[in-house]
């Protein structure tokens, strides 16, 4: 197989684009680097294309290696024909290769192999090859009775031949594929309440699967979240799952696929054998395959949603220039407070106990006012965990009663406890207890969400559905890819970035990231990108991959505060010279460069400075907006000074809300009351919406209308329809 050619056809791109990407991968180039700085090589392929090429390249390479192994094994058995070799070489999926290999795969002891050892294979072949047989069957079977081999009577001879034929049918790739397709196209997946005893069920776990106690759905139409719920219910022994199908149709299809004739003198035997082959051999393995395939598809779908939500959460706009008071709310253990300055530096922290069981509200209010006034706090960030809404009410009353100029917002605190107990947190705040570190993280998530959230395992950030049930290896890979993509999309200030943030920069690893911080601590701020080469472990290749993503504000060269790569500095200087500008006019005259290029022609200008047109376009964009943070274009979070209660809501009330999480069936929206409202997929727009992610993303500020309220169940239904 010509792998680059195959991938190019799959993705509808040119083979030379794939070949270029493969070569860049071999040279050690990262996906963010290729996407931004090698557009001329790849024809402008974005990160999504590059990651797909990487995934398909890995899969198809594994496929080719498996083909080689299988061909070698069959050849050593002396059973490799040109036809079989052609089928294996033309296979495009691992499943196809395994189906073709099945008859030649070394087997453990089976009913079929036992029958062959008894000398019954010739009888099985005779039954298959002589559909027009007109002789006496009992005499035929009697001819294979052999006490020495263990065939004692006609029935044993007959059964042994059937066992051999059953395995031959089961080992036929075309049969297995036909059964697989029939199940997918017309089968049902159903669930019922299990009969498990109470002691076999998970302790202290309620049965939340009532909707699946009597459930049935076509296999090809089941939703990913339904499949994941069924899997979890089965794992927890609350549900029993089965695949159902029209068995006569399946058996008839097997008969048509395997037997080249319509009728046979041995029809009764063959029909019984087909039934046995399907029920005993084919269906159990195909059922596992179908379930696995459905689960893989559901896992991938859930992971893609998790990844999309994580990306939007990481790219939330920073709220800079504020002194922030972070609150990690709680009841028994109290609410932890932490003040950070506008650079994220921790200033002071304390614990208050305004809620039950201590109820020290008056003392807590006094401490809050002292901190707010002492440090001129502009913004209060409240974690959304236990006691969040009670704390929100406390802060709203505090602001109103004392006419404070500060505002508050609710922050997703998922993963804060994971961070607070981590070695990284201990290194940052060695003198603080773990319980006092989470509130600092909550405050910093407002100041710069990306810089803070990269310190936490992405799986702990909690913006997905069934994240603990899906393929954990694939989930980790996808989420790490998202973090890498976001960090390099935004860029990193090398003079303020933590080692945790630097680790995700293209070309850097944990060791080099730590060395950068050590070098900065010892030598002071970096004045230009070239000084990176002085960092221990920073070779030419690593520098090439990372330099464009590491920015220096107020350094010796203004270009160091852009995404323009050092390899393009000479071309950029030529371009500025053509416009009669110097490098130091970057912050003032970027638009003049664009006007010059438009008037003189893109082709001509690109040739004059020695770069391709895509690189020229990127240079112009960065000269227009040097140092720009791409997150600036997204809406800022809603800042509040008062609070609503569920009792204040009325049907028809219009509110602004923040999208907190997106799932298959809609989105959960924070509208400023204790419970997030559900915006069902059917209420997102006046048109049909197939996927909520097509319209919404985490962090969106949206206008919603309250359509239903259930105070007892704590449920709020919302709509975006006009």
CATH fold label, 517-633: DNA polymerase; domain 1 (1.10.150)
What sign does the CA torsion over 454, 457, 458, 462 have?
A: negative
Q: Tell the burial category of 476 from Cβ atoms under 10 Å away from its Cβ (0-12, 13-18, 19+).
A: middle
Name the DSSP letter for residue 135: S
Integer angstrom CA distances of residue 338 from 335, 392, 481: 10, 16, 32
Name the helix (H) or strand (E) containing 86: helix 82-90
Q: Which residue has the tokens 């390099």?
A: 488
Global pTM reads 0.87
The distance from CA 266 to its chain's CA centroid, rounded to whole angstroms, is 54
> What share of the chain has pLDDT > 90, as a percent?
81
**Of 552, 623, 568, 629, residue with least CA distance to 39:** 568
Reduced to 3 states, what is the DSSP secondary structure of residue 181?
helix
Give the C-alpha separation, 56 to 8, whole Å. Answer: 10
- Token pair, residue 707, equals 């359509």
User: Average of pLDDT values for 101-123?
Assistant: 93
Partners of 701 in the beta sheet?
658
User: Average of pLDDT values for 436-449?
Assistant: 94
Name the DSSP letter for residue 464: S
- Look at 457 and 272; give whichever has higher pLDDT: 272
Q: Which residues touch 668 (CB under 8 Å, ≥6 apart)?
A: 659, 660, 661, 662, 676, 677, 678, 679
pLDDT in tens, 304-355: 989 999 999 899 999 989 999 999 999 999 999 999 999 999 999 999 999 9
> Which pLDDT belongs to residue 569?
97
Q: In which band, very low, low, confident or very high, does the pLDDT at 647 lie, cut at 50, 70 and 90?
A: confident
Residue 77: how many CA atoms within 13 Å on its side-chain side? 14
Indicate whether 411 pLDDT > 70: yes
Q: Are 567 and 601 in contact (CB under 8 A)?
A: no
CATH fold label, 3-104: Arc Repressor Mutant, subunit A (1.10.10)
Indicate whether 480 pLDDT > 80: yes
CATH of domain 324-447: 3.30.420.140
- Token pair, residue 662, equals 């997106």
pLDDT in tens, 532-571: 999 999 999 999 999 999 999 999 999 999 999 999 999 9
Q: At what angle do helices 613-624 and 569-578 cross, to 10 degrees?
A: 70
> Which pLDDT belongs to residue 618?
95
Could you state, in order of their start, the residue ranges of all structural domains in the chain?
3-104, 324-447, 517-633, 646-719
Indicate whether 379 pLDDT > 90: yes
- Token pair, residue 65, equals 């290696």
Indicate whether 465 pLDDT > 70: no
Indicate whether 586 pLDDT > 80: no
Q: In which band, very low, low, confident or very high, does the pLDDT at 628 lie, cut at 50, 70 and 90?
A: confident
CATH fold label, 646-719: OB fold (Dihydrolipoamide Acetyltransferase, E2P) (2.40.50)
Indicate whether 81 pLDDT > 70: yes
Indicate whether 129 pLDDT > 90: yes
> Which pLDDT belongs to residue 588?
65
Indicate whether 464 pLDDT > 70: no
> Which pLDDT belongs to residue 501?
96
Q: In which band, very low, low, confident or very high, does the pLDDT at 447 lie, cut at 50, 70 and 90?
A: very high
The chain-wide mean pLDDT, for the chain, equals 93
For residue 448, the tally of other CB atoms under 10 A from its CB is 22
Fold match between domain 324-447 and domain 517-633: no
- Token pair, residue 412, equals 């997703």
Q: At what angle do helices 586-600 and 613-624 cross, to 10 degrees?
A: 140
């Amino acid at each position: 197989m010509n792998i680059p050619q195959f991938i190019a056809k799959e993705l509808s791109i040119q083979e030379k684009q794939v070949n270029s990407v493969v070569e860049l991968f071999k040279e050690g180039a990262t996906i963010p680097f290729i996407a931004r700085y090698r557009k001329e090589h790849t024809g402008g392929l974005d990160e999504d294309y590059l990651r797909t090429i990487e995934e398909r390249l890995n899969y198809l390479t594994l496929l080719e290696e498996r083909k080689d192994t299988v061909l070698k094994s069959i050849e050593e058995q002396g059973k490799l024909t040109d036809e079989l070799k052609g089928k294996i070489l033309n296979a495009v999926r691992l499943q196809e290769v395994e189906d073709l290999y099945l008859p030649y795969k070394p087997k453990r002891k089976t009913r079929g192999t036992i029958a062959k050892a008894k000398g019954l294979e010739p009888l099985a072949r005779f039954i298959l090859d002589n559909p027009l047989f007109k002789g006496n069957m009992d005499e035929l079977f009697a001819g294979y009775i052999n006490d020495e081999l263990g065939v004692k009577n006609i029935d044993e001879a007959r059964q042994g031949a059937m066992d051999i034929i059953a395995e031959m049918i089961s080992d036929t790739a075309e049969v297995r594929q036909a059964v697989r397709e029939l199940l997918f196209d017309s089968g049902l997946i159903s669930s019922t309440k299990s009969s498990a005893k109470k002691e076999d069920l998970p302790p202290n776990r309620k049965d939340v699967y009532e909707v699946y106690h009597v459930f049935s759905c076509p296999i090809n139409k089941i939703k990913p979240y339904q499949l994941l719920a069924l899997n979890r219910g089965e794992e927890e022994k609350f549900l029993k799952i089965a695949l159902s199908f029209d068995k006569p149709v399946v058996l008839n299809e097997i008969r048509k696929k395997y037997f080249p004739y319509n009728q046979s003198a041995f029809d009764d035997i063959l029909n019984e054998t087909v039934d046995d082959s399907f029920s005993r051999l084919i269906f159990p393995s195909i059922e596992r395959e179908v379930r696995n395939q459905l689960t893989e598809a559901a896992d991938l779908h859930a992971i893609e949603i998790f990844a999309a939500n994580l990306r939007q959460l990481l790219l939330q706009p920073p709220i800079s220039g504020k002194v922030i008071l972070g609150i990690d709310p709680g009841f028994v253990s109290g609410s932890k407070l932490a003040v950070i300055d506008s650079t994220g530096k921790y200033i002071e922290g304390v614990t208050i106990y305004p809620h039950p069981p201590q109820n020290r509200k008056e003392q807590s209010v006094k401490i809050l006012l002292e901190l707010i006034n002492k440090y001129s706090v502009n913004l209060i960030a409240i974690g959304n965990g236990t006691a969040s809404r009670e704390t929100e009410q406390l802060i709203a009353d505090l602001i109103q009663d004392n006419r404070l100029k500060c505002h508050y917002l609710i922050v997703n605190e998922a993963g804060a406890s994971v961070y607070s107990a981590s070695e990284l947190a201990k290194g940052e705040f060695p003198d603080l207890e773990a319980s006092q570190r989470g509130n600092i993280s909550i405050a910093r998530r407002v100041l710069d969400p990306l810089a803070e959230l990269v310190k936490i395992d992405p799986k702990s950030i909690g913006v997905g559905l069934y994240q603990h049930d899906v393929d954990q290896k694939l989930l980790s890979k996808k989420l790490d890819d998202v973090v890498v993509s976001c960090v390099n999309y935004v860029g990193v200030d090398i003079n303020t970035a933590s080692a945790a943030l630097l680790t995700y920069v293209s070309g850097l690893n944990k060791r080099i990231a730590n060395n950068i911080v050590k070098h900065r601590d010892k030598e002071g701020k970096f004045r230009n990108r070239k000084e990176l080469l002085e960092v221990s472990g920073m070779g030419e290749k690593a520098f090439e991959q990372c330099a464009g993503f590491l920015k220096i504000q107020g350094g010796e060269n203004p270009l160091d505060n852009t995404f323009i790569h050092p390899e393009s500095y000479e071309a950029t200087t030529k371009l500025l010279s053509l416009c009669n500008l110097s490098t130091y006019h970057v912050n003032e005259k970027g638009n003049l460069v664009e006007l010059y290029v438009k008037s003189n022609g893109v082709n001509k200008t690109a040739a004059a400075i020695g770069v391709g047109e895509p690189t020229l376009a990127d240079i112009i964009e960065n000269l227009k907006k040097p140092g720009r943070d791409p997150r600036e274009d997204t809406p800022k979070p809603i800042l509040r000074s008062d609070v609503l209660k569920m009792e204040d809501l009325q049907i028809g009330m219009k509110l602004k809300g923040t999208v907190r999480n997106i799932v298959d069936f809609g989105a959960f929206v924070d509208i400023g009351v204790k419970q997030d409202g559900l915006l069902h997929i059917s209420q997102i727009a006046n048109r049909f919406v197939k996927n909520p992610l097509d319209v919404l993303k985490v962090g969106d500020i949206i206008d919603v209308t309250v359509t239903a309220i259930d105070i007892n169940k704590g449920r709020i239904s919302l709509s975006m329809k006009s």
